[in-house]
Structure 1
Amino acid sequence: MFNLKTLQRNKTVKYGLPMILLVVGGSFGLREFTQLRYDAQKIRQRLDPDLEANMDMKRPSVTLEEEYEKMKENNLDEWKNIRGPRPWEDSREYQEQQRRSKTD
């Protein structure tokens, strides 16, 4: 029936079959690698319950209204935008110049 040389000459067997095996095998391989990634993230996210309780106690409960009241107290009419020095400028000299112009 089929001869081995006939199969080797067939373009579908020569190029198509390895391509299909590569695509199907690659999808299974990628699934395993991505699963490892998600498993590692789950492990990192787990914290000790005592540590987690301490973290929650240290966080102050700040509301949006409190922050809004703080921002209302700022006087934005006298605000001046001051740029930082560029890499080729001397930063100390530039800062002194900005301080002098700020007091004027």
Structure 2
Amino acid sequence: MTLSRSLEQLFKRKSVKYGIPFLLLVVGGSFGLKHFASLRFEYRKVTLITPEIAKELGIELKKPGTLESEYEKIKDMDIDNWKQVRGPRPWEQNEQS
């Protein structure tokens, strides 16, 4: 057998004919997707607002609360006695209006 005949038989196999292009598509696609996903984050038009810029614009930034400060807010509330109130459905609001 010659080399060209053995290669011809090799490329006639279904595993080579369909498997190699599939693997190339999956592996190549993952690299391509990684490239396009990184472009999304590299060229964003969104800029972060620093506290100095917020003061210039007149925006008041709230400081993040701690778990203890949130606990202090609800500590004195009576959470054991409550009544469940059903909110109106959209079709019920239209009938009342």
Alignment partner, residue 99 of structure 1: none
Matches of 1:36 and 1:23, distance apart in 2: 20
Q: Which structure has the highest helix share of the two?
A: 1
Alignment partner, residue 91 of structure 1: 93
Residue 38 of structure 1: how far off its partner (Å): 2.9
Per chain length, whose mean CA-contact separation is higher, i.e. which structure has more relative contact order (CA < 8 Å, sep 6+)?
1
Deviations 1:36-82 (A, max 9, x none): 1133134439625xx23346x61224221111011112122332111
Q: Scaled by the length of structure 1, what TM-score is found?
A: 0.55
- Please list every run of 5 or more consecutive structure 2 residues that lacks an aligned counterpart in the other structure: 55-59
Runs of 4+ in 1 over 6 A off after TM superposition: none
Q: Percent identity?
A: 26
Cα separation, partners in 2 of 1:59 and 1:39, compared to 1, 3 Å: farther
Residue 33 of structure 1: how far off its partner (Å): 1.6
Cα separation, partners in 2 of 1:16 and 1:42, compared to 1, 3 Å: same
Q: CA RMSD in A?
A: 3.4
1:25-104 aligned within 5 A: 25-44=25-44, 47-48=47-48, 51-53=49-51, 54=53, 58-86=61-89, 90-91=92-93
Q: Scaled by the length of structure 2, what TM-score is found?
A: 0.58
Cα separation, partners in 2 of 1:86 and 1:43, compared to 1, 3 Å: same
Matches of 2:43 and 2:16, distance apart in 1: 39
Cα separation, partners in 2 of 1:78 and 1:13, compared to 1, 3 Å: same
Provide the secondary structure at the position in 1 that maps to 2:50.
helix
